[in-house]
Structure formats: C-alpha cells, structure tokens
C-alpha cells in the first residue's frame, strides 16, 4: 500500500471512529434524557428526602403501605406459604450479591447513624409458564437512610449492556432496609411505577440483612397494584443449593469488606 493510500485509509478510519463515538454519545444522551424526565416525576415528598441525604443521622419516616395477605390473595387459606405454587425464582448468586451490597453500607464497622440504603437492578428471564427467574443482580448505588437512587444513569446504560450480553433483561429492582424490616413504602411506589411502565411484570425486592438469622432469607419480593395503591408479596423459590440455616455463616465468609474492597462493586467503583 502506497503512502497516499495509507494516509487516506487512516483518515477514513479516524472519521469512522469519530462518527461511532458521536452516535454512541447521542444514544447515551437520549437515554439519560428519557430517564431524567422520569426522575423529574418524583413527588415533592421524595425530592425533599433526596435533599436531606447529607444529614448525618438517618431519618426513618417511610410511610408503609399495607400488603395483601399471600394466602388470602391466592384463595388457598388452608395452605402454608411454602406449599403455595411459586411465582418467581431467584438464584443463590443474586441473593448473595444483594445481601453483600446491603451489608457494605450497614455493617458493624460503620456507626449505625451512618447506615444507608442500597439500590440495584434485578436481571432475569421469564419461562413458558410466566414464571420469572431472577438470575443476577447489579449493585448500582446507595443513598440516604430512607431513599437510595441510581445517581449516574450512564451506569444504568453500562448495566443494561452487561445484562443484554447475558441474554437477560431488567425484570425489576432491589433496595435495602438495614435493621428496620421488609416492607414496601409509599415512597417506593413511584420507583416501581417506572419499572412496571417499562415491563408490566417487573418486581421489587426489599432486603433487611439483619433479618438473615438462619430461619429467614431476610428479603421479600413484591409487585404493586396501582389501582388500589397497595403492594402484594410474591411467593418465591430459591434456584440452586442454599440452606437458609447456613446463610448467616456464608455472608460472614464473604464479608463485604475484604482488604478495603467490597466483594461486589457498584459501577462507580470499578
């Protein structure tokens, strides 16, 4: 190849690369703008909570919304919860990542008044029987004691691409309630609305890692009924080999703080 041809080839290569970068940036900007428009729909109550995130003391003022009774909801009052047909399955991998993420920002090495919630994405698939299978979870952020948010939506785009590469899709979200129980609040309704707008079967998982005591997994999975403004829990099963009695010891073994780094990093930290 002559020098002239090589120079022309190099120029074309540079132009192609710049065009690709421009298209990529425009796509990211478009996604960020769309997500920002949804973010702007947050209620004033939630917005005020976001302003309070610099406060040193947690402000636990979440408004609980009653949840439907699982047994009554399934119209099988004589059956135990464990006997009811499972509506969703979650992998051991996802459980450990969620629990580890929650403990990273609310553990014994951190003063209790500085404990905060975490938030992340749930990735999975749905089978022919309409049963959701949560295969993985993606730690995305942390925030105030009453509300955590995904602060940088470029990380959302990165996670979306990683999930797509696994041939999965975003089937919901999770967040933590360190030491104050598993429930869904009025404040969570706005977040859930955005996920169910993207996919009407989207679910929400809430975890209190301090309820993981050898008898409980420490989390519940919910869907929202926007018509009646209520939450109802889904009957879930664990996909994989996990003895709930051993879960506390497993979490100790994969202590979320190892040589100053967490086992699972948020996208801002890698």
pLDDT in tens, 139-148: 998 987 666 7
CA distances from 1 to 8, 15, 17, 133 (A): 11, 20, 21, 54
Provide the pLDDT for residue 108.
Answer: 83
C-alpha to C-alpha distance for 111 and 50, rounded to whole angstroms: 21
pLDDT digits 0-9 by tens, 26-72: 655 655 555 454 444 433 433 333 333 333 344 445 556 556 554 44
**Burial call 113-135: b when 16+ CB within 10 Å, e when fewer:** eebbbbbbbbbbeeeeeeebbbb
Closest CA to 270 of 114, 99, 155, 145: 155
Q: How confident is the model at residue 24 (pLDDT cuts 50, 70, 90)?
A: low
Report yes or no on 14 lying in a domain.
Answer: no
- Residue 221 near residue 201, CB atoms below 8 Å: no
Two structure tokens written together for 48: 């005020």
Say if 46 falls within a structural domain: yes
Q: What is the pLDDT of residue 253?
A: 76
The average confidence (pLDDT) of the chain is 76
Decide if 259 is inside a domain.
Answer: no
Q: Which residues contact 197 (CB under 8 A, 6 or more apart)?
A: none
Tell me how far apart the alpha carbons of residues 114 and 101 are, in angstroms, rounded to a whole number: 15
10 Å CB burial of residue 28 (0-12, 13-18, 19+) is middle
Residue 172: pLDDT band (50, 70, 90) is very high
Residue 182 is assigned to a structural domain of this protein: yes
Contact status, residue 158 vs residue 188, Cβ threshold 8 Å? no
Task: Give the model's pLDDT for residue 3.
Answer: 54
Within a domain: 154: yes
pLDDT digits (tens, 9 = 90+) for 103-135: 989 988 889 888 999 999 999 999 999 999 999
263 within domain boundaries: no
Q: How far does the chain reach from its first CA to its final CA, in angstroms?
A: 42
CA distance 167 to 221: 23
Structural domain range at position 54 = 41-253
Check which CATH number belongs to the domain holding 242 and give it.
3.40.140.10
Is residue 81 a part of any domain in this protein? yes
Residue 267 carries which DSSP code?
A: T
Other residues' Cβ atoms within 10 Å of the Cβ of residue 211: 17
What per-residue string of b and e applies to 82-98 under the rule 16 or more CB within 10 Å gives b?
eeeeebbbbbeebbbbb
What's the residue count for the chain?
270
Alpha helices in 105-210 (DSSP H): 153-165, 186-198
Number of domains, the chain:
1
Report yes or no on 108 lying in a domain. Answer: yes
């Amino acid at each position: 190849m002559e020098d002239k041809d090589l120079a022309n080839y190099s120029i074309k290569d540079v132009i192609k690369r710049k065009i690709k970068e421009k298209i990529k940036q425009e796509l990211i900007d478009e996604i960020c703008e769309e997500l920002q428009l949804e973010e702007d729909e947050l209620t004033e109550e939630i917005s005020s909570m976001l302003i309070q995130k610099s406060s040193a003391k947690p402000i636990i003022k979440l408004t609980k919304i009653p949840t439907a009774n699982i047994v009554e909801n399934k119209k099988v009052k004589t059956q135990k919860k464990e006997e009811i047909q499972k509506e969703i399955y979650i992998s051991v991998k996802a459980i450990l990542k969620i629990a580890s993420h929650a403990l990273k920002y609310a553990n014994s090495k951190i003063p209790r008044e500085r404990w905060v919630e975490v938030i992340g994405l749930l990735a999975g698939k749905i089978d022919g029987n309409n049963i959701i299978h949560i295969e993985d979870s993606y730690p995305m952020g942390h925030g105030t004691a009453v509300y955590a948010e995904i602060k940088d939506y470029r990380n959302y785009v990165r996670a979306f691409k990683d999930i797509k590469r696994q041939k999965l899709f975003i089937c919901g979200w999770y967040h933590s309630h360190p030491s104050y129980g598993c429930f869904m609040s009025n404040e969570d309704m706005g977040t859930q609305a955005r996920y169910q707008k993207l996919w009407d079967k989207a679910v929400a998982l809430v975890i209190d890692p301090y309820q993981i005591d050898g008898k409980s997994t420490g989390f519940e999975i919910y869907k929202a009924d926007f018509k009646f403004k209520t939450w109802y829990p889904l009957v879930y099963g664990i996909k994989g080999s996990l003895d709930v009695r051993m879960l506390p010891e497993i979490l100790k073994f994969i202590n979320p703080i190892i040589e100053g780094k967490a086992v699972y990093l948020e996208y801002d930290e890698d």
